Structure 1
């Protein structure tokens, strides 16, 4: 399967807030979140310093990625935490993994 689209979850350094997004370029998007947080942008991710990537999934089609993003956004925080911990139990930053 060729991955063109991603859903991803970022968090702040204290792991208190999570942001879920979809993109066709995960490197660029994580960089934008970092830039927004450093420049006090008023976006959600910028406001809460959510630039540490802790989870992502790849998809071939945009429709599938968007559907998954909407599904995850409806989940409780506990369920989101459990999903992250299935692949990243220590909530380590995956930023270096995608760069």
Structure 2
């Protein structure tokens, strides 16, 4: 498009070139902006893990015991891991995620 705009200059070509540049810049800014993190990150369960953003490694929990605790209200906003051994990730999980809960018999 730059070649056409400079070889045969015309208002329409320059406007198109300007729109393409603005679109490219805005797309680049949008793709490189940092992740927005939740303000409320809660890990309330025994052995639970809550991550407000992305994880880039392994996330693993192992809990032995009873699940008799009363977790907080899970309908509230934010990122919440409320049960025993629970995992909550607010972004992307780039590695293995596993949870193991052994309840007493």
- Alignment TM class, shorter chain as reference: under 0.3
**Richer in helix (by share):** 1
So what's the TM-score if we normalise by structure 2? Answer: 0.22
TM-score normalized with structure 1 length: 0.23
Select the structure of larger CA radius of gyration. 2
Using CA pairs below 8 Å that are at least 6 residues apart, which structure has the higher relative contact order? Answer: 1
